[in-house]
Each structure stands twice: as structure tokens, then as C-alpha cells.
């Protein structure tokens, strides 16, 4: 029986921010079509780890492999591999008069430079964009400017960008930040549906431990080093949460008050 290689393998990863190690000797892997949450207190190095995995930040040491290809020290990956990765950041800074429309933005996900569009088959570019917008309930936003959207609308448009062409790895760095309770639930349900339909492997940074318990297959507990990992019931036990966050830690949903500090 053939065993498929992991989508992502991280081995001994360390990341330096200034004079300090933000991430120290972290190793883990993501198996195909799993949803893994990365949790930990503010300042634990979660965003630094994600940045290094994506090649956006340099590694002090360690190795990263994505879809069987080694990530270069300067973040190099073959274009065919890079096109299989989608990233949803915590925020997307837009100028007030930013002219790009929703349809134009999602279209960029179709025609990334240097990539073959053979996967489209008979579907034209415009049809691929329209289909992605319908799947994320954004079809009425096609002509709207990105800068005019609400937080919930913008997050759905980002998912449309991810789904407009086949992907294998989806990385979310607190993608639900800034959403109210109903918008958070809607986003998470849409993400779950798309993940199952598309066969995505997901790595998501989250402070919403309740959501992690409900939705994720695996949890990585990070506080500079990897403190523990496993299924939610194991990794998010009271004892392990106290070890990770400290004795005054109180579980919370993302739109409630957060433990102080910075990422």
C-alpha cells in the first residue's frame, strides 16, 4: 500500500527576530486533507513560524519541505508548487481609494505568472472567477472595490481567491481576526465546506479554542518551542493549557478579550 508523503514537513525550524529566537527547533508535519491549528499565547512565535514556512521570513536553522520540494533559504519554490499554496493573512491593508474590484482580484488567482491554465479545460477565465464567487456567496460583489467591503465580505473574497484554481495547502494566520460572532461562524462553516470539497490541507493560527476543538483534526501548541501536539482533546486539556498559557489563562473566543502581548 502506497503511503502519500506529507503536504508539509518542518524539521528543526528556528526563526530569529532581532536578537531573539522567536521559534526554536520546531518539527512537525501536515498529512493530506487535515486541518491543523497552531495555538499559543501572544508573542509565542506563531506568525513567525508561518512566515518562515511560507518563505516570507528567513530561517535561522532547520528545513521545510512543501509537496516534497525543499524550501530554499530565500523562500524559493518551483512555481508549480507555489501555485498550490494559498495564504490568508490576518489583515489586508487597503488604501481608501484602492481601485481593484473583487472580480479583478479573484481573477489574479487564475492567471498567476508562468503557470499553465490547462486545468481550466473548457472553462474560460471569466467563468472560473464567476464560479469561485458563487461558491463563496460573493457573486453580488463582483464590481465592488476591495476597499469598500466589510470584514466578513473581504474574508469571503479571499476564500474565493483560494478556490478559483486548485490548491493543496491553505495557510491562515488568524484569518478570522476582526470578525464579529456571526461572521466568524459563517466564515468557519464556509472554510469547512470548501476544505472538504477541495481536499485542502489547512494550517491555521487561531486564538479561538472553542472553534479549534470543534473543527480541527490536530493541534500544535507553541510557545517559542513546540510544547505539545495531538488531537484537540489531548492538546487542549486543562493541564496542557496551563503549561502553555500560564495559570491565569482563560479560554476565549477570538472576538472576545485576548491575553495581552504581541505576535
Count how many domains the chain has: 2
* Co-location of 41 and 57 in the same domain: yes
Rounded average pLDDT over 152-162: 92
Amino acid 184: pLDDT: 86
The DSSP line for 34-80 is -EEEEE--TTSSHHHHHHHHTTSS--SEEEEEETTEEPPTT----HH
Cβ proximity of 35 and 215 under 8 Å: yes
Rounded average pLDDT over 120-139: 83
Amino acid 180: pLDDT: 82
Rounded average pLDDT over 136-154: 92
* Co-location of 44 and 116 in the same domain: no
DSSP state of 109: T
- Domain end call among 139, 166, 193: 166
* Co-location of 56 and 147 in the same domain: no
Query: First and final CA of the chain: distance in angstroms?
Result: 42
**pTM, entire model:** 0.86
* Co-location of 104 and 227 in the same domain: no
* Co-location of 172 and 155 in the same domain: no
pLDDT in tens, 191-239: 999 999 999 999 999 999 999 999 999 999 999 999 999 999 999 999 9
Domain range for residue 123? 93-166
Amino acid at each position: 500500500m502506497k503511503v502519500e508523503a506529507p503536504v508539509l514537513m518542518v524539521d528543526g525550524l528556528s526563526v530569529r527576530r532581532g536578537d531573539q529566537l522567536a521559534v526554536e527547533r520546531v518539527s512537525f508535519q501536515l498529512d493530506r486533507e487535515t486541518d491543523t491549528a497552531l495555538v499559543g499565547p501572544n508573542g509565542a512565535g506563531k506568525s513567525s513560524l508561518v512566515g518562515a514556512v511560507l518563505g516570507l521570513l528567513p530561517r535561522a536553522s532547520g528545513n521545510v519541505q512543501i509537496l516534497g520540494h525543499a524550501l530554499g533559504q530565500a523562500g524559493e519554490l518551483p512555481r508549480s508548487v507555489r501555485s498550490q499554496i494559498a495564504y490568508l493573512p490576518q489583515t489586508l491593508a487597503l488604501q481608501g481609494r484602492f481601485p481593484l474590484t473583487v472580480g479583478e482580484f479573484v481573477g489574479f488567482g487564475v492567471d498567476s505568472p508562468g503557470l499553465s491554465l490547462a486545468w481550466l479545460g473548457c472553462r474560460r477565465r471569466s467563468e472560473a472567477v464567476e464560479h469561485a464567487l458563487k461558491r463563496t456567496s460573493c457573486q453580488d460583489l463582483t464590481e465592488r472595490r476591495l476597499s469598500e467591503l466589510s470584514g466578513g465580505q473581504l474574508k469571503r473574497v479571499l476564500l474565493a481567491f483560494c478556490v478559483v484554481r486548485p490548491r493543496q495547502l491553505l495557510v491562515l494566520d488568524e484569518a478570522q481576526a476582526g470578525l464579529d460572532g456571526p461572521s466568524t461562524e459563517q466564515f468557519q462553516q464556509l472554510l469547512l465546506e470548501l476544505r472538504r470539497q477541495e481536499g485542502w490541507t489547512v494550517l491555521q493560527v487561531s486564538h479561538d479554542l472553542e472553534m479549534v476543538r470543534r473543527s480541527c483534526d490536530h493541534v500544535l501548541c507553541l510557545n517559542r518551542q513546540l510544547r505539545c501536539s495531538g488531537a484537540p482533546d489531548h492538546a487542549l486539556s486543562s493541564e496542557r493549557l496551563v503549561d502553555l498559557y500560564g495559570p491565569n489563562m482563560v479560554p476565549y473566543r477570538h472576538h472576545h478579550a485576548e491575553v495581552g502581548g504581541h505576535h
